[in-house]
Amino acid sequence: MKKLFVFLCFASIAISFSSCATIIGGAKYNAKVQVPNHPNASISVNGEFKGQGEANFLVKRRDANKLDITVQEEDCEPETTHFTKKAFRGWAFVGTLVGWTGITPNYIPLPWGVVVDACTGAWWKPDVTEKGVSKIDYDNFLYTITYKAIPKKESTIKPEEKNKEPLDAPTKSKAEILRELKQLFDDGVLTQEEYEKEKAKVLGSE
């Protein structure tokens, strides 16, 4: 019973402390986003606005592979870059395993540091092999975004409006319409019956 009490006390104290990877680098890292040549471009990360032209914010190490960075300038299309890779901090894991492993009263190794790092996600970092990612130091990483700034497309005309004449379009006279009908009739586009019917409509209109 006494050994169990000592073990529980030891475990509680151990878990309350940080380990190697958590101390050196922490559970989060500093991310810096730059958009060269576009100082006025807005920057959003996972849907949350972070700054213009440049942004600095913290990222959980375990989420280094879940970053969607969207850049947009006024009157231009937004562009989103997806960062989907993360790398394992092998040296941090070894340091934790060696330096933060305790011994229970029964001489059983207790890798409490490994447990702490697993819970905090401190083993991970951005993968610098991914395009746009570079390392400043173990705690700071740079994301360089290439933004094309493509102008927004003009709004398309609704199908039902394509055949409508502009409101300020000049109105054709009856004489002009009759001449066009006669030309269509002479060209064989309209039959005699169709020609007479359309002509009567024009002559009967106000």
pLDDT reading at 158 higher than 80: no
User: What is the model's pTM?
Assistant: 0.57
State the Cα–Cα distance between residues 173 and 100, nearest whole angstrom: 95
Instruction: Phi first, then psi: give them for residue 180, nearest 5 degrees.
Output: -65, -40
Looking at residue 182, what is its pLDDT? Answer: 85
Share of the chain above pLDDT 90, in %: 38
Two structure tokens written together for 80: 């989103």
CB atoms within 10 A of CB 202: 15
Give me the residue spans of the domains in the chain: 2-144, 166-204
Sheet holding 140-144, edge to edge: 79-83, 67-72, 42-45, 48-52, 54-60, 28-34, 140-144, 133-137
pLDDT reading at 161 higher than 60: no
Determine how β-strand 28-34 pairs with β-strand 140-144: parallel
pLDDT reading at 46 higher than 60: yes
Q: What is the Cβ-side half-sphere exposure of residue 20, based on CA atoms within 13 angstroms?
A: 17
- pLDDT tier, 113 (very low <50, low <70, confident <90, very high otherwise): very low
Most confident of 4-13, 34-43, 90-99, 185-194: 34-43
Instruction: Phi first, then psi: give them for residue 145, nearest 5 degrees.
Output: -105, 125
Could you write out the DSSP letters of every residue in 43-73? EEETTEEEEESEEEEEEEGGGTT-EEEEEE-
Instruction: Phi first, then psi: give them for residue 2, nearest 5 degrees.
Output: -65, -40
State the Cα–Cα distance between residues 19 and 113, nearest whole angstrom: 5
Two structure tokens written together for 24: 């050196």
118-156 in b/e form (b: 16+ CB < 10 A) is: bebbbbbbbbeebebbeeeeeeebbbebebebeeeeeee
pLDDT reading at 5 higher than 60: no
First to last CA, the chain: 109
pLDDT digits 0-9 by tens, 118-138: 566 677 889 999 999 999 998
Could you write out the DSSP letters of every residue in 30-50? EEEEE-TT-TT-EEEETTEEE
pLDDT digits 0-9 by tens, 57-95: 999 988 999 999 999 999 999 999 999 999 876 555 555
